[in-house]
Structure 1
Amino acid sequence: MRITRNLEFQTGSKEEKLPYETTDFPYVASQAELDDYREPFVPWHWHNAIELFYMESGQLKYHTPNETMVFSAGWAGMVNSNVLHMTEIQTHMEKNIQFLHIFEPKLLAGDHGSRIEQKYIMPITTSSQIEILPLNPKVPEQAGVIDLIRKAFFLSEEEFGYEIKIREALSQIWLRLFQLCAPILQDKTGSANGTDDKIKRMMVHIHEHYSEKISIPELAEVAFLSERECYRAFRNHLHMTPVEYIKIFLDFNAVIVNLDSLSSEKRKQCIDSIEENVKELKSYLEQNIREKENLPEIPATGMAVLRQQFVLAEAIEKWIDSVKEK
């Protein structure tokens, strides 16, 4: 099982770059040692792959556009294909370790358009109602699936027939998940939301061009929207304007990476400037969270973004203190 201590993205995107050894077998098992990640959270991202996970120890909170769930040790879950999500560590009382099966849907589906794909894979992967599926060890029918997920991690890659055995194990898990999802799949009241893809495009543009001046017409053009539609998409999906989102998504990584190349005087000026900006950002976030956290009409995504930025601000404050001590 591969040990991971960081997350990599595709160039120019917030789509996760997955560490498949070869493209002809799109599967990887990994042990995420979350306490060793640079921040106590993994920012908003997505991937075409299915994410099956088991919490070996610790506690992790998942955010998706419409859901927020906490997974404690012994719990498991599935993040659906192409679902925007982020995670936050919830405890430091024990190590936060997560086991993950990451695989492309085609690993189980076979050829595109196959009966297996149409009958068993696409009903779940194309369902806008299934973003994340929690598995509770105290619920008997879910506990059985959790056991299958965990056991599959201990198949040896050196064992003869490993690829066939892991695909067989994942297929058994998928059938059990399909049965658990049946009530959701039979409910036709939900509908696909094309706004997700447009929000992703605009988020990627902001993330990749935060150091430049980003205009609203430019941002709207990225998602093929009018300026009015751009504002409406952010309001409906994140409950904030695009201008507010850009403001709270301040990212100081570029400054931090280049800090050592600056003179001592410039370095101090830079740190002082960051410290002032972080205080202003944190105050803004605290006020926003207080005003919005108890309002039922606020989407989970909006609150998740605000909380993520607050965690980021606190992490930067700690970093500033550590730099000043040197």
Structure 2
Amino acid sequence: MKSFMIDQNLKELTEHRTVELPVACYETRINQNINGYIPLHWHDEIQFVLIRKGEAVFQINEEKIVVPEGDGLFINSGCLHMAEEKDGSDCTYICLNVSPHFVLSQELFSSYVQPYIFSTNLSYLFLDRNQHWAKNILKAVKTINQLVQQKKSLYEIDITMQLTLMWKNLIFNGFQLEYDQSEMIKSHRMKQMLNWIHLHYAEKITLEDIAKAGQLSRSECCRYFKRMLNKTPLRYVLDYRIQKSLLLLQHPETNVTEVSYQVGFNSTSYFISKFQQAMNMTPFSYKKIHMGIN
């Protein structure tokens, strides 16, 4: 089991550096995460995904997309995203995270990278292996993954060559860029509300509190959450509290009652009921499994 670490702003805390470059490339099984899925998060790095096995459902900002085996995604810098496997397919994928400033030289960054990073209509691109430009990108992801694992002489230079090739193919796709100030504001407000929840989840939270954090009315706040997460703000709070309880339950010194209050429930019985609905087992059963108790 792996704990996917994010801070109060939903920014991923994973160190995206597995070589002497601002690049991380690794394979991950979605169901091995402590939550059973990759929770909502964002990072400054751009991300390329290649599905090696099974199928995944990704959500990027407000959109959901199914990505089958052999295909992939480009996810832009700063975009909220999450992933879960589809239909118990035991999905495994290669994840390549790259600092935007490292994609091309400093002289070329402002002309050929920055416009894409700031575009409000380019939250992601589906990489269809049957399209020539996308196939080239997916092939380069595989190559970089091999380079990182093998670490042959001068492999860092080979990685930079592959990144240049990938970006050239992405631009070659001919995507028309747009810059919508209202979309930037929406994204910022959503992150503000989620940030507030992640700071205050252990306290009593009302809909008005969440709306105030995003400088919205209660009805508009509900529309934001429905559009982005397909759930109400208070349902998100409940789910987030359950997520936070999973790690606490794995500590040998904690008990179910303590955990319920630590994550913001004011009733142990209510916590047990909601945990069982979410996880198909009681908190105590979960604790027994992950503590190796017979």
Whether 2:171 is the aligned partner of 1:175: answer: no
**Structure 1 regions of 5+ residues with no counterpart?**
283-312
**Contact 1:48 1:104 (8 Å CA) reproduced:** yes
Q: Is the 8 A contact 2:50 2:94 kept in 1?
A: yes
C-alpha distance after superposition, 1:15-70 (max 9, x if no partner): 00132448973111111132321222111100010111111112111012232111
Question: Normalization by structure 2: what TM-score?
Answer: 0.79
Does the alignment pair 1:277 with 2:241? no
| Shift in Å, 1:130 | 1.1
* Structure 1, 262-271 or 250-259: larger mean CA deviation: 262-271
The SS at the match of 1:92 is coil
Could you tell me the percent identity over the aligned residues? 18
Task: Assess, with a 3 A threshold, how the Cα gap between structure 1 residues 104 and 136 changes in structure 2: closer, same or farther.
Answer: same
> Following the alignment from structure 1 to structure 2, what is the Cα–Cα distance between the partners of residues 104 and 209?
31
Aligned with residue 165 of structure 1, among 151, 158, 175:
158
1:78 matches 2:74: yes
Structure 2 gap segments, 5+ residues each: 262-266
The 2-side partners of 1:49 and 1:264 are apart by 38
Q: How many residues align?
A: 280
Q: How does 1:283-294 map to 2 (within 5 A)?
A: none
Deviation string, structure 1 residues 94-141 (Cα, Å, up to 9, x no partner): x42211111110112444xx4x12221122111111112111123344
**CA distance in 1 between partners of 2:273 and 2:52 (Å):** 39
Map 1:292-303; keep pairs closer than 5 Å: none
TM-score w.r.t. structure 1 length?
0.72
Q: Distance in 2 between matches of 1:252 and 1:276?
A: 15
Letter in 1 for 2:171: F
Cα 1:147–1:255 shift into 2, 3 Å: closer
Aligned to 1:148: 140
Structure 1 residues 76 and 204: alpha-carbon distance in aligned structure 2, compared to 1, 3 A threshold: same
Question: Within the alignment, does 1:122 sit opposite 2:114 as a pair?
Answer: yes
Structure 2 counterpart SS, 1:193: helix
Q: Structure 1 68/211 Cα, relative in aligned 2: closer, same or farther at 3 Å? A: same
CA–CA separation in structure 1 for the residues paired with 2:256 and 2:18: 46
Amino acid at match of 1:261: E
Task: Pick one of 117, 127, 139 that aligns with 1:135.
Answer: 127
* Map of 1:67 onto structure 2: 63
- Cα distance in 1, alignment partners of residues 235 and 37 from structure 2: 21
CA distance in 2, matches of 1:19, 1:265: 34
Question: Which residue of structure 1 aligns with residue 244 of structure 2?
Answer: 253
Which range moved further: 100-109 or 17-26?
17-26
